[in-house]
Amino acid sequence: MNSLIMATASSKGRLLSLLATAATLLSATAAKAAAPGITGPTFNLNATDAYITQPDGQMVYSWGYGCSSAPTGFAPALNAAGFCSTMQIPGPTLIVTQGQTVTVTLTNNLPAAAGNTSILFPGFTATATGGVNGLLTKEAAPGGTVTYSFVATTPGTRAYYSGTQADLQVEMGLYGAVIVLPSSVPAVCGTLGSTTGLPTTNPGGNAKARAAAGEGEFRLATAAYSHPQACYDREYIFQFSEMDPNIHAQALAQVNAAKALAQPAKDCTPGAAGCSLNVPTEPYRPAYFMINGRSMPDDMDPNYAPQYLHQPYNGNPHMHPGELTLLRIVGQGRWQHPFHEHGNHVRVLARDGNLILSQTDSTKLAGPLLFTTTTTPGMAMDGIFYFTGKGLNWDMYAHNPASNDGQAKLTCTPDANGYNTAVPGVLNYFEWCQDHNKPLEVAPFGDVGGGGPATLPDPALFANGAWYGGSPYMGPNATTRATGCSAGSAAGSCGTTGTTSPSGTIANSPSTEAGYAFMWHSHNEREITTNNVFPGGMLMMMLVDSREFVIDESN
């Protein structure tokens, strides 16, 4: 793992970085993701306390929003295993459609000593009814409620968070996200769930490829905005925050002290002497750096995994080459987090729900292409990421026209953009054809042609990390052929050359998944630790698999 980090942190190490992360994944870790949330437009939320878990074994006393009654529904539709606890971090992702009037009733079930609480919906014009007057909005007193109402005027991703004593309440976990889906999507983006009649510009007819592989539909919509360049094939939401456990311990101690004063009552009486908190929030020394409320490796477990009752959302992006992947990125907490998506840059579509268009041609997007998508507390952005393998300068599927393996002899027919998109069902759909049949290594082993541009270090010597599958190639047979066949392998199941697999290269069976894993992580390397231990914190692995691997994001 250490060498993996060093390689990925090197600015000149693009090749090294990719090699270090070319991978297979243990199927047990192939968790699912998408952009899960609850549907409205009426939401009954709760604010209360609970303990969240961190990978160092700590249970951290926290406050969070949750559901005070069963939500209208869960989305995406195939995300059948959803639950909404009375407290979760982040709070429930509220999924609504542009033009809807959204109503959120908040009940304050925090310990009485925590005082009032509230929710701000920045970017919307919210009106509040009930509750008591607060500094920024109406608040729910202990045991009380307040109702917020706003029209979801524009699509996009936005943060919501406490507007009451935010230095403490946001730190304790009172934040979440709103996703507004566009009221109409451009025809060019296709229809949700449809796999027929789609234009090839989306991109290359991805829905057809998805259907050919038997994959389900995990999107909330086909476009993030009502704009032909905002179509997407797959989506994820990531919320970034950090915690200083000393603040949480201090809050817990004072909550318990107030309750003890109020004995035999279960909680203190609001307004009574001693029924208040005075928790210093400076100096601020966070030890936990979380994506969707979890630290690595917990963030790679499934959504709604039962061991995270109060942290239901994961961070585990997965995609096929060529898929336009929508990243909904939200800054929570109080620090900036420079999140780096290895494998490509992220084209920003919008910030805080504001689509960034060219001033001279509104048919064109004008958002920046970012190396790190740095979040600021309260700020959200939508961006598009994709991986195609273009620029690798080798055939990532290890095609070899001299092989006796049929999958090694697939063809590549470039479309107008240079990608193989004519046949949605082929394994090398969206291959970058200029690299077709181009081997990586000058003197490779296994069933891979010679004469390529570079020679890899001997896999037996190169410490690649836990995600390395022992092959720089993608696809099931590609891995097998590049690590060599045993003499006597059946004809057609393997290549022409019989070699012994280099040691350590078959720890992950290539028979299930043989893709690339790219580290996505904070570039503040302090933040890829959990309580000072590396690896942890704001780190996840993004997986790219060729089309034969069915990506299932049903939980």
| 4-38 CB burial, b ≥16 within 10 A, e <16 | bbebbeeeeeebbbbbbbbbbbeeebbbbbbbbbb
Q: Which of 310, 328, 340, 436 binds Cu ion (CB under 5 A)?
A: 340
Nearer of residues 8 and 98 to Cu ion, judged by Cβ: 8
Count of Cβ atoms closer than 10 Å to residue 371 Cβ = 15
Q: Which residue has the tokens 């942890």?
A: 536
Nearer of residues 111 and 537 to Cu ion, judged by Cβ: 537
Nearest to 238 by CA among 94, 382, 347: 382
- The tokens of 530 are what? 């959990």
Q: Which stretch binds Cu ion (CB under 5 A): 8-16, 150-158, 189-197, 533-541?
A: 8-16
Nearer of residues 4 and 198 to Cu ion, judged by Cβ: 4
On whether the CB atoms of residues 420 and 430 are closer than 8 A, the answer is: yes
On whether the CB atoms of residues 514 and 545 are closer than 8 A, the answer is: yes
CB of 340 to Cu ion, least distance (A): 4
Q: Which stretch binds Cu ion (CB under 5 A): 5-13, 24-32, 159-167, 495-503?
A: 5-13
- E strands in 244-371: 288-291, 318-319, 325-331, 337-341, 346-351, 354-355, 369-370
Main-chain dihedrals φ then ψ at residue 152, nearest 5 degrees: -75, 80
CB of 240 to Cu ion, least distance (A): 15
**3-state SS, one letter per residue, for 110-171:** CCHHHCCECCECCCCCCEEEECEECCCCEEECCCCEEEEEEECCCCEEEEEECCCCHHHHHH
Nearer of residues 234 and 340 to Cu ion, judged by Cβ: 340
CB of 79 to Cu ion, least distance (A): 29
- Give the per-residue contact string, 290-329, with Cu ion (x = CB under 5 A; - = no): ----------------------------------------
Scanning residues 125 to 154, which ones bind Cu ion (CB under 5 A)?
none
Nearer of residues 398 and 519 to Cu ion, judged by Cβ: 519
On whether the CB atoms of residues 87 and 172 are closer than 8 A, the answer is: no
Nearer of residues 102 and 290 to Cu ion, judged by Cβ: 290
CB-closest chain residue to Cu ion? 340
Distances from the Cα of 351 to the Cα of 317, 328, 369, 373, 551, angstroms: 21, 10, 13, 11, 29
Distances from the Cα of 530 to the Cα of 171, 289, 295, 522, angstroms: 17, 7, 7, 13
CB of 529 to Cu ion, least distance (A): 15
Nearer of residues 294 and 340 to Cu ion, judged by Cβ: 340
Q: Which residues pair with 193 in a beta bridge?
A: none
Nearer of residues 338 and 504 to Cu ion, judged by Cβ: 338
Site membership for Cu ion, residue 158 (CB under 5 A)? no
HSE at residue 386, side-chain half, CA atoms within 13 A, is 18
Q: Which stretch binds Cu ion (CB under 5 A): 274-282, 333-341, 373-381, 396-404?
A: 333-341
CB of 488 to Cu ion, least distance (A): 43
Q: Which stretch binds Cu ion (CB under 5 A): 4-12, 42-50, 135-143, 200-208?
A: 4-12
- Give the per-residue contact string, 227-256, with Cu ion (x = CB under 5 A; - = no): ------------------------------
CB of 523 to Cu ion, least distance (A): 6
- The tokens of 338 are what? 């420079």
Nearer of residues 32 and 340 to Cu ion, judged by Cβ: 340
Count of chain residues binding Cu ion (CB under 5 A): 2
What residues line the site for Cu ion (CB under 5 A)?
Answer: 8, 340
